[in-house]
Structure 1
């Protein structure tokens, strides 16, 4: 028998708001409230609130940074307090166990990992820590994501310091009467914040934010179309244990010291690909017409030869066009290369385009 679906601290609120709930990563999660396109467009013009409490949160003492550095490609020694770094956990072959956010909080690191991988990630990290150092999962915390161009104006009404934060920084803020750990980051390509809050105060915080006129609730459907337009990877689609960071277009996550010194799992494969190039690369594809190629659809070249596979695809509400990401052979990865995806056996023509499909609008200096 399958295990019963878990629920986040906002489950009752989702039901009250009329969400359509679906199974996702072992949880019962909202896929939409008023419709995916409406929620997507609201995120691009105003602000939406996502419940991402299914994701894994954990604390690691700062003394364990060196041990964690052996498992990720990021330079953690150079990560200053109050800063956030996106990175990947790698295996001995250079494949990606998961992608994660690493937040430097002074006396500890705060880790945020994918819901579908948190048990794997936490066990992997714990197994590589020296005696006396422990990873502490935080199941008593919820996580909300306020995303969109109006997000900063909304949050500053409750916590004025939020307006001064920059992309990939963190602060401890009091939002109303709720003390929260806040990162200026997100998974939409828009400006926004990810807010870690005690589970028993999550509903009060969500209601407070949803009461603001610019904010509407949004579900996993809009989150997926937004991240696809932003060219962001989804575990199990663009990245997995058979995909390296170089193939995935994530070479930028490997800071200079790590490129020079290595010292992480899979470093020989990853650093070799960094110099020589991989045999395949993640690309964006924009198709003619409105038919969307879905996950696992074959990609063919102009001669009809199979050159790769679609990993994610959808109709883009912002561009009003069918878009996808996928892997193709390196020789077919240049922007402007004509390709086609086989949809129900029929070729849908398109071309390789630069990522992201929609420019990012992060709060940078």
Structure 2
């Protein structure tokens, strides 16, 4: 009996030592992989940056003289390397974006006040949902605040148009995303004033020019206040061509999984295409500011739109340059304490403790099974007597 126990303990010690060796080997390999990934990531960042002719923000920003008629919706401004390279670059940039977002989130825990607000505008099928899924969706969702603004409710209409927007401005450390936004309160009235049509609910949002001017001033003031508080406002308008929108709408109608997204109001807007283009051009011109410029992204090529928006976000966060906060513990003391639990002696002790606990669990399970069998037997006896 004693020999069996000695052999069992010797085997447990051998296994504990093997596990310790494997843990050290794995830790070393993990560290080497992280170092290699960091070197490759730095190389990727440099390579992708060089592949752009220049900063896409400078090429895509809307000026007071901006003209939608001159915008080629299938163009790829600043990117000449083609689709395959663009898709690979998007993947690499999203990895960097994920790291930047984590640093932004962590920095806020250390007292930093920085955040980013991404505003997405564009007609239906322009690709706003794709940006949310394929770009913003690549970062930790815990650090993202997403808000989608539809037609205002009765309660929202009883307040100022920015009343429903302000609570959704991103907190420090977050990337906020507006899928459509308060700019609908400029775009829709401007378009309806040109078309003379109500919306699909029979409502009209047309307001006097003085009211539109006030809204523009209020938006500019809110964006300036957000910038002063540490929020970078990134406004992206995705512009799809008439032909490409038609193909995408037809795809929604032809695919069962897409039909739920279709609305006849999409066709109403398409019927008034020219008026909506005029409305977009006017609003983009009037509300593109130094603090919060509009980036007008050609959206016929989905891969380019996603690449461009990713690049804009990456460069914006690079300018913020969020830093990891200092540790709140004594790192060396914690490392020493942890290492004490990874020695062969500590692992052998844990192995013995684990085995003892397993024996107790088995004994408890056997006792429970015996108790259940006894209760069942008693129940059967009572049933027979009755």
Bin the TM-score by the shorter chain. under 0.3
Q: Could you tell me the TM-score, scaled by structure 2's length?
A: 0.20
Relative contact order higher in (CA < 8 Å, ≥ 6 apart)? 2
Task: Name the structure where strand makes up a greater proportion of residues.
Answer: 1
Which has the higher Rg, Structure 1 or Structure 2? 2
